[in-house]
Amino acid sequence: MPKHKDLKRKVRARMQKTGESYTAARLRLLDNKKRTDSPKAAPKVDLAALAGMSEAAVRAGTGKSWSAWTTVLDAIDAASKPHREIARYVREQHGTSSWWSQGVTVGYERIRGLREKGQLRGGGYEANKSKTFGVPLARLYAASAEARQRKRWLGGAKATVRSARPEKCLRLDWEDGTAVELVFSARAEARSHVAVQHKKLTTKADATRLKGYWAERLSALAALLK
């Protein structure tokens, strides 16, 4: 019993310091104890599955595996730092792009139990979906920015434009008080891409439902653009 109570005390202390969940903090402490007490290797953890991104993708984008990134970020006690500070460190100290800095930071936070897939560091959720289209960027952006065209593929949802950067970004206020951001990019002379981020969601169920909704809506957009 004393040992059990001592472990609970250490877990709660770590939770307070790092913001990890009870389960994540307990697993980390037990993992550290195994490495200290026994020369045997700890059971292999599928870091890519926890991060929500494959080893091949993160290696291609950053030159490092999830194991390497976890070691690098653990060395600066990143689990106890704000999201923005971790992303800035990854970008400035390891030369990654802004997109990959965010990807590595989110993946690391998931590995360390600081957020679930689709969840923000602060506890809310968001739904993300993207698609590449066989049309020039200008045409894809127009179909999203022009109210009449947007209404044709959004499926009756009511949304108003809050801000726009032509052929780069479109921010929408949704009828239920949530927010949507569409980020556009050119992939080739006649190909373009949009990434949708539906923000300010309160539950994981909302995020799952809206991810499905956006998959349907982007397919409708593709049909409209043919």
pLDDT of residue 34: 62
pLDDT, position 204: 85
User: Structural domains in the chain?
Assistant: 2-111 (no CATH), 125-225 (3.30.530.20)
What is the Cα 127 distance to its own chain's centre?
9
pTM attached to this predicted model: 0.58
Maximum Cα–Cα distance for the chain, whole Å? 69
Gap between the Cα atoms of 11 and 108, Å rounded: 20
pLDDT per residue as tens digits for the range 41-79: 556 789 999 999 999 999 999 999 999 999 999 999 999
Per-residue pLDDT at 15? 79
In the chain, which residues have pLDDT < 50?
1
How far is Cα 42 from Cα 173, in angstroms, rounded to an integer?
47
Task: Give the Cα separation of 211 and 196 in Å (integer).
Answer: 9
Return the pLDDT at 9: 81
- How much is the pLDDT for 139? 96
| pLDDT confidence of residue 11 | 79
Q: Which residue has the tokens 């739904």?
A: 127
